[in-house]
Chain A
Amino acid sequence: METLITILAGILVTAATYLILSKSLIRVILGTAILSHAAHLLIITMGGLKNGSVPIIGEGDANPVDALPQALILTSIVISFAVTAVSLVLAYRTYQETGTDKLDQLRGDRNE
């Protein structure tokens, strides 16, 4: 199971890297969103994917799954959500100001 999820995370990272290296700004931001999905999958996988009950006291048997990675992911999801929101707004403002979302046109003057 761990192997499968790790391979899936690897595929996500590949797709994200490809998107981040593209010219369009919105594709880059999509790439970062996929990148954070890969990280979250990897964190839950590294905690171990054994069979067990939900980590709530009084639910299921006495063999719960590791609760710490879930807390880490929850924190990290919120953070990447906030960062994605900020970067989307920044991309929108950049589009308004410069009239382009192509990264190779966002170079600025030579003398600036």
Chain B
Amino acid sequence: MNNIIAMPMMIPILVGILLIFFRHHIKLQRWSSLAAMIANIGITAYILHQIQQNGILRLDFGGWEPPFGILFVADSFSALLVLTTSIVAAICLVYAFSSTEKSYEQMFFYPFINFLVAGVNGSFLTGDLFNLYVCFEIMLLASYVLIAFGGRKGQLRESIKYVIINVVSSWFFLIAIAYTYGALGTLNFAHLSVRIAEQGQSPMLTVVSIVFLTVFALKAGLLLYFWLPGSYSVPPTAIAALFGALLTKVGIYAMFRVFTLLFYHEPHITHTIIGILAGLTLIIGSIGAVAYKDVRLIASYNVVIAVGFILVGLAVATPTAMEGSIFYLIHDMIVKALLFLLAGTMIAVTGETRIDYMSGLIRNYPLLGWIFFIVILALAGIPPLSGFIGKVLVGQGAVEAGAYILLALAFISSIFVLYSLMRVFLTSFWGETIISKEDKIPMKNGWIIPCIILAAGSFILGIGVEPLTVYVKDAAEVLANPQIYIDAVLYDN
């Protein structure tokens, strides 16, 4: 009955495996990958609806009752993120159709995208710590291949760094799992939570929680972000957009899960550290975003700022702030994908990566320019667009908790986001055009249509806050009351 919640991971894996056998059938590869993502959108929307009606869904693999078997748990938080992942992945695929070279597409490009999405969805849905590690590795192995796709010098160089840093962070994850298992004797999230509550969060467990924090901070780019700008600026555009939208968000999701479900007993230690890290991330991300002239680096540092902003919500840990973080997380996945796609399109039409080598693009590509303007407004949090509600709720939560320094940092960073992107807009889109009519590279429909869809998505998310609030409130409620999750997993048969 609940088999449906395994679908978001199963469909991409099955499609990916099948496509390995049809290497040269590019049409088939394209459309079946897209069909898989669209099927996922439908299925996840249905799952979300089911959760509203029947509460949290769970699937025990092999019929083993928790805590003995591996299980998938779908609450509103994970379902919302899976839904957003599927939408973003589908749109990035459409962009990849017209931007990826044919020779790449024959080298298992689409299977790897499917595996990446499967890993991301699995990480969102799993209810078991070690299974989370395995899903992380599925996602990371696919990303290792995708980041080096094409094998240019810069890509190889950055992919080496990316692989090494992720091997080290996976090692930290294993160590944290080992200590958790040694101390508590279980790996199921709900069961872990029960046992921690029973014996109290000893200093030893707090240390383990800090190791978890290190792991997920490395994956999410929370202060330990130094690998991120390099590795997000080298891959082909569609892949960079998928990375910017999905990969760091999985780390953020894991951090939310671990620090709301398991280690919530000593907030004055763990949540204070998260708050400090988030504040520093906001400062450093803001400095990075205004320091560079490479449009891809500016986009990457905007990812870092968003990570800091979302984790302000977790550090504050009031239900309102959580709600704001969830809204902002969903918004950020959509808008970061759009930002990376636009940056890639700008590079594709000009052949330059530095913003001071581009000029007057608005004359040649007005639609591109105005979509870029919409992204700026959405990221800065201007009301009709999607970033607004998240920022307001996180701010409100910070005020309730009295975290005024974090509040100030979070809102000042918005100004830096606005400034860094406005600078791109003013130097590259305004001014004298440097592209003559004859040299103009025509804008492909396949480039601009995904951008239009994503920009429309940002509008819909901004205007349709009210229908969405039902789901986000439910997600925030489960995060704020871990007992709901535990009851659903352990005591509901």
CA distance A64 to B4 in the complex (A): 37
- In the complex, are the beta carbons of B160 and A75 less than 8 A apart? no
Q: A20-B164, A90-B160, A108-B157 are in contact. Are A97 and B174 (CB under 8 A)?
A: no
CB-based A-B contact count at 8 angstroms = 99
- B182's closest neighbor in chain A, by CB? A46
Residues of A near B157 (CB, < 8 A) are 94, 98, 106, 108
Q: Which of B41-49, B148-156, B377-385, B408-416 contacts A (4 or more CB under 8 A)?
A: B148-156
CA distance A22 to B127 in the complex (A): 38
CA distance A98 to B160 in the complex (A): 12
A112 at the binding interface (Cβ < 8 Å): yes
- In the complex, are the beta carbons of B160 and A91 less than 8 A apart? yes
Residues of B near A29 (CB, < 8 A) are 164
Q: Which of B137-145, B335-343, B419-427, B443-451 contacts A (4 or more CB under 8 A)?
A: B137-145
Among A20, A87, A97, which residue has its beta carbon within 8 angstroms of that of B163?
A87
Residues of A near B84 (CB, < 8 A) are none
- In the complex, are the beta carbons of A83 and B177 less than 8 A apart? no
Among A20, A47, A76, A93, which residue has its beta carbon within 8 angstroms of that of B156?
A93
Shortest distance from the beta carbon of B173 to any chain A beta carbon, whole Å: 9
Residues 126-185 of B contacting A (Cβ, < 8 Å) = 130, 133-134, 137, 140-141, 144-145, 148, 151-154, 156-157, 159-160, 163-164, 167-168, 170-171, 174-175, 177-179, 181-182
CA distance A45 to B183 in the complex (A): 12
Where chain B touches its partner, the secondary structure class is helix
Interface size class of A (residues with CB under 8 A): 35 or more
Where chain A touches its partner, the secondary structure class is helix
- In the complex, are the beta carbons of A32 and B164 less than 8 A apart? yes
CA distance A28 to B167 in the complex (A): 11
CA distance A39 to B174 in the complex (A): 6
B354 at the binding interface (Cβ < 8 Å): yes
Residues of B near A7 (CB, < 8 A) are none
Residues of A near B133 (CB, < 8 A) are 76
CA distance A87 to B156 in the complex (A): 10
A55 at the binding interface (Cβ < 8 Å): no
Shortest distance from the beta carbon of B119 to any chain A beta carbon, whole Å: 12
Shortest distance from the beta carbon of A110 to any chain B beta carbon, whole Å: 11
Q: A20-B168, A86-B163, A106-B160 are in contact. Are A42 and B154 (CB under 8 A)?
A: no
- In the complex, are the beta carbons of B141 and A69 less than 8 A apart? no
- In the complex, are the beta carbons of A69 and B160 less than 8 A apart? no
What 0/1 readout, one digit per residue, does chain A (19-47) give for beta carbons within 8 Å of chain B?
01000010011001001101110110111
CA distance A76 to B133 in the complex (A): 9
- In the complex, are the beta carbons of B156 and A97 less than 8 A apart? yes
Q: A43-B174, A43-B177 are in contact. Are A83 and B160 (CB under 8 A)?
A: no
- A79's closest neighbor in chain B, by CB? B137
Residues of B near A35 (CB, < 8 A) are 167-168, 171
- In the complex, are the beta carbons of A75 and B174 less than 8 A apart? no
- A91's closest neighbor in chain B, by CB? B160
A68 at the binding interface (Cβ < 8 Å): yes
CA distance A28 to B353 in the complex (A): 31
- B162's closest neighbor in chain A, by CB? A90
CA distance A93 to B167 in the complex (A): 19
A15 at the binding interface (Cβ < 8 Å): no
Residues of A near B168 (CB, < 8 A) are 20, 32, 35
- In the complex, are the beta carbons of A97 and B153 less than 8 A apart? yes
**3 closest A-B pairs (Cβ-Cβ)?**
A46-B182, A39-B174, A43-B178
18 further A-B pairs in the complex, CB-CB below 8 A; given A47-B182, A90-B144, A106-B160: A20-B164, A25-B160, A28-B164, A29-B164, A32-B164, A40-B174, A46-B178, A46-B182, A75-B130, A83-B141, A87-B160, A91-B160, A93-B151, A97-B151, A98-B156, A108-B154, A112-B294, A112-B353
> Can you identify 18 A-B contacts, CB atoms within 8 angstroms?
A35-B168, A36-B174, A43-B177, A45-B178, A45-B182, A47-B181, A47-B182, A80-B170, A83-B140, A83-B167, A83-B170, A86-B145, A86-B163, A90-B160, A97-B152, A97-B153, A98-B153, A98-B157
